[in-house]
Amino acid sequence: MIRTLAGVYHDLTTMDEDPSKRKTDGEVTTFFAKLAPHMKAPIDENGAWRAIGVFMDSGMAPQASQGDVRKLTTEITKWADKPPTWLS
């Protein structure tokens, strides 16, 4: 999960071609603070994290393959601008 959050931070602060659309450190910190209450393990069997499809059956951590890390990173990065209802 640490690799995923590092990727989210990177994507939010550097990836947009328009620098004015990039997030600041403070904005990313605020976003991560919103995520914090939802970062417990194991994840809920019927919860939003499970629906992404990259978590192990135990619900303790996401799969470690590069494709799964990228998928999870991309999904969480989208939430910064369009948060799911449970995160708003």
CA distance 30 to 45: 27
Q: Output the pLDDT for position 26.
A: 97
Tokens of 58: 């135990």
Per-residue pLDDT tens digits for 9-68: 999 999 878 888 899 999 999 999 999 999 888 988 888 888 888 888 887 888 888 899
Domain boundaries, the chain: 2-81
Higher pLDDT, 39 or 8: 8
**Comparing C-alpha atoms, which of 13, 1, 2 is closest to residue 80?**
13
Q: Which amino acid is at 49?
A: W
**Comparing C-alpha atoms, which of 36, 5, 42 is closest to residue 50?**
42
Q: Output the pLDDT for position 18.
A: 85
C-beta of residue 11 within 8 angstroms of C-beta of residue 73: yes
